[in-house]
């Protein structure tokens, strides 16, 4: 069992609420959503010998059965406690606060996995990132930290103003504006990454190299945050902080 200290909200939560096609992922109702979580272990099952009560953890959403926290039979972090398996748990370094720890479990994890594990980004590579919101911001920053020449495409002009913060070589409204650049990799996002990817993201945060924008809210603010995500134009990640998070 994990006491949730921080829980992120993303567009997939909005889709799950609005689109009836997501209902097979919720076999029993009511159900507590929330797949971006960090917290402290409050209880361990019989036979568990490498996790202890009091350990700080981030939770990679997927387990080995292909089921995700916040979906299927797994309650999520929009409530104060959740159940997880060893498949989900990643040590959260003391230097990484819970808000960034939660952010990394989806936006950070997916972005890092696409750029590093799948994309094979390396120094000098010309990389295009489509969409510079929560995932794209981190993907662009990670690629830049690895020495790539990064080009971003984003329809929101306010987000385009963060060009230098993300380490972009150039930014435009459409990726097609860079068709003469010779992009070697163009990244768009779907799915999650692995526990190893999450550990890699935590290393970047721990070293102070990655600190994406976060909008802190309370648990009571979650419905309003979901509505703002539905409307669009949000910069940064919504992270709900529980009262005793330190």
**pLDDT (tens digit per residue) in 189-231:** 555 677 888 999 899 999 999 888 899 999 999 999 999 999 9
Confidence of residue 13 (pLDDT cuts 50, 70, 90): very high
By C-alpha distance, which of 99, 122, 119 is closest to 210?
Answer: 99
CB atoms within 10 A of CB 213: 14
Please name every residue paired with 90 in a beta bridge, in sequence order, or none if there are none.
58
Whether pLDDT at 2 is above 80? yes
Whether pLDDT at 245 is above 80? no
Could you tell me the pTM of the whole model? Answer: 0.81
pLDDT in tens, 137-174: 889 999 999 999 999 999 889 889 999 999 999 999 99
- Residue 150: what pLDDT? 97
Please name every residue paired with 171 in a beta bridge, in sequence order, or none if there are none.
152
By C-alpha distance, which of 122, 127, 237 is closest to 175?
Answer: 127
- Residue 134: what pLDDT? 75
Please check whether residue 18 is in contact with residue 230, taking contact to mean a CB–CB distance below 8 angstroms. yes
List CB contacts of 216: < 8 A, sequence separation 6 or more.
Answer: 99, 239, 241
State which H helix or E strand residue 37 sits in: strand 36-41
For residues 234 and 78, the model is more confident at 78
- Residue 192: what pLDDT? 61
For residues 40 and 200, the model is more confident at 40
CB atoms within 10 A of CB 170: 13
CB atoms within 10 A of CB 151: 23
- Residue 164: what pLDDT? 95
- Please tell me the distance from the alpha carbon of residue 159 to that of residue 142, in angstroms, as a whole number: 17
Right CATH for 2-105+213-241 from 3.40.50.1220, 3.90.180.10, 3.40.50.300, 3.30.930.10:
3.90.180.10
- Residue 233: what pLDDT? 77
Please check whether residue 159 is in contact with residue 235, taking contact to mean a CB–CB distance below 8 angstroms. yes
Lowest-pLDDT choice from 43-57, 110-124, 191-205: 191-205
- What's the whole-number mean pLDDT along residues 37-44? 97
Assigned CATH topology for domain 109-188: Rossmann fold (3.40.50)
For residues 62 and 58, the model is more confident at 58
List CB contacts of 161: < 8 A, sequence separation 6 or more.
Answer: none
- Residue 181: what pLDDT? 95
Confidence of residue 96 (pLDDT cuts 50, 70, 90): very high
Please name every residue paired with 153 in a beta bridge, in sequence order, or none if there are none.
130, 172
- What's the whole-number mean pLDDT along residues 55-74? 93
- Residue 73: what pLDDT? 93
Please check whether residue 82 is in contact with residue 37, taking contact to mean a CB–CB distance below 8 angstroms. yes
Question: Domain spans of the chain?
Answer: 2-105+213-241, 109-188
Rounded to 5°, angle at Cα 226 from 221 and 232: 125
Q: Kindly report the average pLDDT of the chain as a whole number.
A: 91
- Residue 212: what pLDDT? 87
């Amino acid at each position: 069992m994990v006491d949730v200290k921080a829980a992120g909200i993303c567009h997939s939560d909005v889709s799950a609420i609005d689109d009836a096609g997501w209902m097979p992922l919720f076999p029993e109702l009511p159900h507590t959503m929330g797949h971006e979580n960090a917290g402290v272990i409050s209880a361990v099952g019989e036979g568990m010998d490498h996790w202890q009560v009091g350990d700080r953890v981030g939770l990679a959403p997927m387990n080995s059965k292909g089921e995700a926290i916040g979906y299927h039979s797994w309650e999520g972090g929009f409530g104060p406690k959740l159940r997880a398996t060893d498949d989900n748990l990643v040590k959260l370094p003391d230097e990484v606060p819970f808000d960034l720890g939660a952010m990394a479990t989806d936006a950070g994890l997916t972005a890092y996995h696409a750029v590093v594990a799948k994309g094979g980004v390396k120094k000098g590579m010309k990389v295009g990132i489509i969409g510079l919101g929560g995932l794209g911001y981190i993907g662009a920053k990670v690629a830049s930290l690895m020495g790539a020449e990064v080009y971003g495409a984003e329809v929101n002009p306010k987000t385009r103003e963060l060009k230098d913060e993300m380490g972009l070589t150039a930014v435009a409204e459409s990726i097609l504006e860079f068709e003469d650049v010779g992009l070697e990799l163009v990244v768009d996002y779907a799915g999650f990454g692995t526990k190893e990817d999450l550990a890699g993201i935590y290393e970047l945060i721990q070293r102070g190299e990655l600190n994406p924008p976060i909008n802190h809210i309370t648990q009571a603010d979650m419905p309003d945050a979901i509505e703002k995500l539905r409307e669009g134009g949000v910069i940064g990640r919504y992270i709900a902080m529980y009262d005793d998070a330190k």
